């Protein structure tokens, strides 16, 4: 039945969200013939979700509380645009019972559960009591109303240490602590109460047995207003950082059919206990004993229910072939569920990786800037487009703001089994072409290629357990340097192709071998590694000599073949390898980036036998590293300075960044004054190097 002829007819939907999820909802809504309406803050006026919508309504300034979280403004936008329904996405107002009530009062369909269901799951203590009534397994613990210190301490002793103290009204890790012994209990209780009181205005506590190596497994449920309920199997979300999911997969590895059915049926009971309607996720902790125990006991425990669509819903869509947003819209329109439980099938395996604008090597500090390139490289070898999906809210040219969650996109892959899905994810991450903003792409690649992840040895502290492996500096080999040298030499060739032979600057000689000297650095400030490249007059191959730290050189014979787009084939001593070769400008100069499945190398390069690149490197080093404000100019124009002299200070995200002279010389002029706002990449000053001046 068409949505326009449903019990609650829908012809248009306003998406009360932004970014990736807003674009995702619009995609299905358009396919179903609905008019799509976006809302936006001033920071998102030119965002992708605004560009793609049929209509868009401004909410207000950039801060979320003045725009996306302002219930009155969202309702007013829906009335102004004539929206029949509001889809909340996830985050923001998606689990706000007051917002649902406001939609009902305005006679606008809320695409989600009733306010009563959201409220039922909002208080952890009462939610657990209702789950117990529904026969849903709970972690052994205390969820009572009595809250005096002596009783709580006694209950913790009965449960057995370690225990987890949790704020009853909590979320996001606030008011939550692991207590290892009776000796630590009182101090931990006092601290949790302070945090809970400050965050939620409520200091009631729960106590639960702390599982030392649990897995986080969640079940996708769906209910309609006719009383039907189904589960669309489960997802494993164990790989997390600070309670934030990083990788998700479906189905969960190593679950027996009996355990899968038991968890699914428990999840449906949980949803029906609170009169749920729409898409929801029931989250469980799975005891590792369930995987190895020879008994028939099933060790899984209810944790919480998310009363909305989850970020990781695409992996469920991949294995079931169902569009969950379509299901949401149909249920919201008053239609029954599209399928019964026995009509749902599970096919293959799917994995999702969350791409964030953040720097894993700098404590995951959020990154801002302008995306110079963004997307999956279609020329990546071996990538199967029908098995790969990129859900994003950004495109090349978009600005990444500091105002909202730093997630840029979700990369989702599907395979016939988990092994194939893992290989596909590795290839897809290598093909993900992102520049202009620092991301966690390489960190994700390390995760999915880690031996314990491949073996599905999972728990919620996976990243902590494998910290040294995941954050280790990857050694750059001489062969990596030789491959980067071939890319640099190819760039010099292309730059000289249009010139007369007598004007070339790539070491060309008439009837003589061609010599070029290069230098590579692993990072800004690291010692340069010299490479001498020699090519015969026939131009068939290069002879490369890599000399690290003055030791004996390693010698290679190599050649590069350009393929489509950024793809190249590099042959080194007879070993041919297909790679994606890209370059980007950074504070250190021009960086050559080579990627393939399970591999990445990044090397800063320059000519060491000429000064051609000096002015280019100077400009790169004197550009704003991110959006910010100029807070100090430290020298006078014309004043001679030595290399490394501090020149200008920029404050960004409450941190100061000092830009220093990249060479001996002088500042010709500052382009900004103290107090001016600057964007990432803005050239802050004109600098004349002594070396460049002498060469004129």
| Residue 54 neighbours by CB under 8 Å, 6+ apart | 35, 36, 37
Indicate the pLDDT class of residue 292, thresholds 50, 70 and 90: very low
Distance (Å, whole) CA 650 – CA 680: 11
Instruction: Give residue-wise pLDDT tens across range 219-256.
Output: 999 999 999 999 999 999 999 987 789 999 999 999 99
Distance (Å, whole) CA 508 – CA 539: 10
CB 650 within 8 A of CB 630: yes
Q: How many helices (H) and strands (E) does the chain have?
A: 20, 40
Question: Hey, what CATH topology would domain 114-138+214-347 get?
Answer: D-amino Acid Aminotransferase; Chain A, domain 1 (3.30.470)
Output the CA torsion 66→68→73→76 (10° steps).
Answer: 170
* Residues written for the chain: 696
Pair type for strands 399-400 and 369-370: antiparallel
- Among residues 139, 142, 153, 140, which one has the least CA distance to residue 190? 153
What angle (nearest 5°) sits at the alpha carbon of residue 633, between those of residues 628 and 635?
150
Over residues 575-580, mean pLDDT: 94
- Among residues 67, 70, 80, 136, which one has the least CA distance to residue 108? 80
Q: Is it the case that residue 497 has pLDDT exceeding 70? A: no
Instruction: Give residue-wise pLDDT tens across range 589-609.
Output: 789 999 998 889 999 998 776
Q: Is it the case that residue 319 has pLDDT exceeding 90? A: yes
Burial level of 565, CB count in 10 A (0-12/13-18/19+)? middle
Which of 373-382, 454-463, 516-525: highest mean pLDDT?
A: 454-463
Indicate the pLDDT class of residue 563, thresholds 50, 70 and 90: very high
Instruction: Tell me what pLDDT residue 586 has.
Output: 67
- Among residues 300, 303, 243, 233, which one has the least CA distance to residue 460? 243
Instruction: Give residue-wise pLDDT tens across range 452-486.
Output: 999 999 999 999 999 999 988 888 899 999 999 99
Task: Tell me which residue has tokens 């001679």.
Answer: 640
CB 647 within 8 A of CB 622: yes
Distance (Å, whole) CA 78 – CA 57: 9
CATH topology identical between 114-138+214-347 and 348-472: yes
Mean pLDDT of the chain: 88
Q: Is it the case that residue 504 has pLDDT exceeding 60? A: no
Instruction: Tell me what pLDDT residue 654 has.
Output: 47
Please state the separation of Cα 16 from the chain's center in Å. 21
Q: Is it the case that residue 1 has pLDDT exceeding 90? A: no
- pLDDT above 90 coverage of the chain, percent: 65
Instruction: Tell me what pLDDT residue 424 has.
Output: 95
Q: Is it the case that residue 616 has pLDDT exceeding 50? A: no
Distance (Å, whole) CA 484 – CA 589: 15
- pLDDT above 70 coverage of the chain, percent: 91
Over residues 572-592, mean pLDDT: 86
The architecture (CATH level 2) of 348-472 comes to 2-Layer Sandwich (3.30)
* Lowest-confidence pick of 21-30, 325-334, 669-678: 669-678
Q: How many Cβ atoms are within 10 Å of 242's Cβ, its own excluded? A: 9
Over residues 137-165, mean pLDDT: 92
- Among residues 199, 559, 578, which one has the least CA distance to residue 383? 578
SS3 for 86-145, per residue?
A: EECCCCCCCCCHHHHHHHHHCCCEECCCCHHHHHHHHCHHHHHHHHHHCCCCECCEECCC
What angle (nearest 5°) sits at the alpha carbon of residue 322, between those of residues 321 and 328?
170
CATH number listed for the domain at residues 478-607: 3.30.700
Over residues 539-567, mean pLDDT: 88
Distance (Å, whole) CA 645 – CA 676: 22
| Residue 309 neighbours by CB under 8 Å, 6+ apart | 21, 89, 90, 94, 279, 324, 325, 328
Instruction: Tell me what pLDDT residue 608 has.
Output: 73
As given in the structure block, the two tokens for residue 405 are: 């969650």
Instruction: Tell me what pLDDT residue 660 has.
Output: 84
Distance (Å, whole) CA 212 – CA 289: 11
Indicate the pLDDT class of residue 314, thresholds 50, 70 and 90: very high
Q: Is it the case that residue 694 has pLDDT exceeding 80? A: no
Q: Which residue has the higher pLDDT, 118 or 168?
A: 118
Task: Assign 3-state DSSP to the chain and report helix, strand, coil percentages, each to 5.
Answer: 30, 30, 40
Question: Hey, what CATH topology would domain 140-209 get?
Answer: Dna Ligase; domain 1 (3.30.1490)
Report the b/e string of 649-683 with b at 16+ CB within 10 A: bbebeeeebebebbbebbbeebebeeeeebebbbe
Instruction: Tell me what pLDDT residue 295 has.
Output: 42
| Residue 210 neighbours by CB under 8 Å, 6+ apart | 161, 162, 163, 164, 178, 179
Instruction: Give residue-wise pLDDT tens across range 342-372.
Output: 999 999 999 999 999 999 988 888 898 899 8
Output the CA torsion 137→142→145→147 (10° steps).
Answer: -160
Q: At what angle do helices 149-159 and 182-200 cross, to 10 degrees?
A: 120
Question: Hey, what CATH topology would domain 618-694 get?
Answer: OB fold (Dihydrolipoamide Acetyltransferase, E2P) (2.40.50)
- Among residues 76, 595, 50, 116, which one has the least CA distance to residue 373? 595
Over residues 641-656, mean pLDDT: 76
What residue segments make up the domains of the chain, in order of their start?
3-111, 114-138+214-347, 140-209, 348-472, 478-607, 618-694
Identify the three-state secondary structure at position 164: strand
Over residues 114-118, mean pLDDT: 95
* Lowest-confidence pick of 173-177, 446-450, 474-478: 173-177
Instruction: Tell me what pLDDT residue 692 has.
Output: 52
Please state the separation of Cα 134 from the chain's center in Å. 36
| Model pTM score | 0.79
Instruction: Tell me what pLDDT residue 536 has.
Output: 75
Q: Give domain 3-111's CATH number out of 3.30.9.10, 3.40.50.20, 1.20.1260.10, 2.40.50.140.
A: 3.40.50.20
CB 508 within 8 A of CB 501: yes
Instruction: Tell me what pLDDT residue 296 has.
Output: 47
Catalytic residue among 193, 308, 387, 427: 308
Instruction: Give residue-wise pLDDT tens across range 179-203.
Output: 999 999 999 999 999 988 887 888 9
Helix H or strand E encompassing 151: helix 149-159
Active site residue 582: no
Instruction: Tell me what pLDDT residue 171 has.
Output: 65
Instruction: Tell me what pLDDT residue 211 has.
Output: 85
């Amino acid at each position: 039945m068409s949505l326009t002829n449903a019990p609650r007819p829908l012809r248009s939907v306003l998406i009360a969200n932004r970014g990736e999820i807003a674009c995702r909802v619009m995609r299905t809504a358009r396919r179903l013939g609905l008019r799509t309406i976006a809302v936006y803050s001033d920071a998102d006026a030119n965002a992708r979700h605004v560009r793609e919508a049929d209509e868009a309504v401004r909410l207000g300034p950039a801060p979320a509380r003045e725009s996306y979280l302002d219930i009155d403004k969202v309702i007013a936008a829906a009335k102004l645009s004539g929206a029949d329904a509001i889809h909340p996405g996830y985050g923001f107002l998606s689990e706000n019972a007051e917002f649902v009530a406001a939609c009902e009062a305005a006679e606008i369909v809320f695409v989600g559960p009733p306010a009563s269901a959201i409220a039922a799951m909002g208080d952890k203590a009462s939610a657990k009591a209702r789950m117990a009534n529904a026969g849903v397994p709970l972690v052994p613990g205390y969820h009572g109303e009595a809250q005096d210190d002596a009783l709580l301490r006694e209950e913790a002793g009965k449960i057995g240490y370690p225990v987890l103290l949790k704020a009853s009204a909590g979320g996001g890790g606030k008011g939550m602590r692991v207590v290892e012994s009776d000796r630590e209990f009182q101090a931990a209780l006092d601290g949790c109460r302070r945090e809970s009181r400050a965050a939620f205005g409520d200091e009631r506590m729960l106590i639960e047995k702390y599982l030392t190596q649990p897995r986080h497994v969640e079940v996708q449920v769906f209910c309609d207003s006719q009383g039907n309920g189904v589960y669309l199997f489960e997802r494993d979300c164990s790989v997390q950082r600070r309670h934030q999911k990083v990788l998700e997969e479906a189905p969960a590895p190593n679950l027996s059919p009996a355990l899968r059915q038991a968890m699914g049926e428990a999840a449906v009971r949980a949803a029906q206990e609170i009169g749920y309607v729409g898409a929801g996720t029931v989250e469980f902790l799975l005891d590792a004993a369930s995987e190895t125990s020879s008994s028939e006991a099933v060790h899984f425990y209810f944790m919480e229910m998310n009363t909305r669509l989850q970020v990781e819903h695409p992996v469920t869509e991949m294995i079931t072939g169902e569009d969950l947003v379509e299901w949401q819209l149909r249920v919201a329109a008053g239609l029954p569920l599209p399928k019964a439980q026995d009509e749902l099938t599970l096919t293959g395996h799917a994995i999702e990786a969350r791409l964030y604008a953040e720097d894993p090597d700098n404590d995951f500090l959020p990154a801002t800037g302008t995306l110079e390139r963004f997307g999956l490289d279609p020329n990546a070898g071996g990538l199967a487009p029908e098995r790969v999906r990129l859900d994003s809210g950004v495109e090349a040219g978009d600005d990444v703001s500091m105002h909202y969650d730093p997630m840029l996109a979700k990369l989702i892959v599907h395979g016939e089994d988990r092994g194939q899905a893992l290989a596909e994810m590795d290839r897809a991450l290598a093909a993900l072409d992102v520049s202009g903003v620092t991301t966690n792409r390489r960190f994700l690649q390390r995760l999915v290629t880690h031996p314990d992840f491949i073996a599905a040895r999972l728990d919620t502290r996976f990243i902590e357990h494998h910290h040294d492996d995941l954050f280790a500096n990857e050694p750059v080999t001489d062969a990596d340097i030789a491959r980067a040298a071939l890319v640099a030499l190819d760039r010099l060739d292309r730059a000289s192709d249009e010139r007369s032979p007598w004007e070339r600057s790539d070491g060309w000689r008439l009837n003589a071998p061609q010599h070029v000297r290069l230098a590579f650095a692993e990072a800004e400030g690291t010692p340069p590694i010299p490479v001498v490249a020699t090519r015969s007059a026939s131009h068939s191959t290069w002879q490369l000599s890599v000399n690290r730290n003055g030791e004996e050189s390693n010698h290679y014979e190599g050649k590069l073949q350009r393929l489509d787009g950024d793809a190249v084939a590099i042959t080194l001593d007879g070993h041919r390898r297909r790679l994606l070769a890209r370059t980007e400008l950074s504070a250190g100069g021009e960086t050559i980036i080579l990627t393939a499945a399970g591999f990445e190398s990044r090397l800063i390069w320059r000519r060491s036998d000429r000064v051609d690149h000096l002015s280019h490197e100077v400009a790169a080093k004197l550009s704003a590293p991110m959006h910010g404000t100029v807070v100090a100019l430290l020298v006078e124009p014309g004043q001679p300075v030595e290399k490394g002299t501090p020149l200008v200070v920029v404050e960004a995200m409450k941190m100061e960044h000092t830009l220093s002279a990249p060479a001996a010389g002088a500042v010709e002029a500052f382009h900004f004054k103290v107090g001016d706002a600057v964007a990432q990449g803005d050239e802050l000053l004109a600098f004349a190097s002594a070396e460049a001046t002498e060469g004129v």
